[in-house]
Amino acid sequence: MEGIIQKSIDSYIPIADFIADIGGKDCEVVLHDVHDLENSIVYIRNNHVSGRIKGGPLTDLGLKLLKEKAYAKKDFVTNYPSSTKDGKILRSSTFYLKDDEGELIGMLCVNMDVTRAKSMKDYLEEYVGGREDEQGTDDTEHLSTSIEDLVQDTIKETISDAGIPPERMTPEEKMERVQTLNSKGIFMIKGAVTQVADILSVSENTVYRYLNKN
């Protein structure tokens, strides 16, 4: 079955190349296999944009979309903001790759590096005004080069959003952070429970208990 899925995803490589050639050097195109989240990148063009390579992990937003089964409601999401580890500003879009039964097998992602365009836009707005038109999703995506970075960055960002250091959190506040992390799909990654438990200074059993509460 895995070989059949891989063959199906590989059939989109010519389309990935087509999009990359149209978009030029600032257009990164990635094929993800959602059956292997830690090594989901099976093909990538213009990887100098994000620095990622074949065998890299799914993104934080990719995990969230997978957790929410967003693919069941629509075929794609377009023009949402994302960023790279080194600070590039991107405009990204994701097309859901599904089998004949409508089940998700992969994602075709296009990431346009708009860093230079954003700088020019900001400069011009000093004179002509205007506002940014955001489309597709309210979430921001972070493109991580390793599964370790993805898990650590997502956990740290989610916990820091509470504005309270873990050692001062009440059990209820820790539970809320765990449930927020769960909504982002982070616990689909092996070892995430252990890392969350360490950062929150609770046992792994406590994390599982928080996950099971409504």
What pLDDT score was predicted for residue 23? 95
Encoded amino acid at 45, one letter = R
Instruction: Express each pLDDT in 165-205 by its tens digit.
Output: 888 999 999 999 999 999 999 999 989 999 999 999 999 99
Phi, psi of 17 (to 5 degrees): -65, -40
Confidence bin at 15 (pLDDT 50/70/90) = very high
4-8, 84-88, 139-143: which has the minimum mean pLDDT?
Answer: 4-8
Q: For all residues of the chain together, what is the average pLDDT?
A: 88
| Alpha helix stretches (DSSP H) within the chain | 2-10, 13-23, 60-68, 115-128, 147-160, 171-183, 192-200, 204-212
Instruction: Express each pLDDT in 36-92 by its tens digit.
Output: 999 999 999 999 999 999 999 999 999 999 999 999 989 999 999 999 989 999 999
Instruction: Express each pLDDT in 73-82 by its tens digit.
Output: 899 999 999 9
pLDDT exceeding 70 applies to what percent of the chain?
87
User: Is residue 136 scored above 90 in pLDDT?
Assistant: no
What pLDDT score was predicted for residue 134? 47
85: how many CB neighbours lie within 10 A of its CB? 15
Collect all residues with Cβ–Cβ distance below 8 Å to 183 and sequence separation of at least 6. 64, 67, 68
Q: How far apart are CA 71 and CA 66, in angstroms?
A: 8
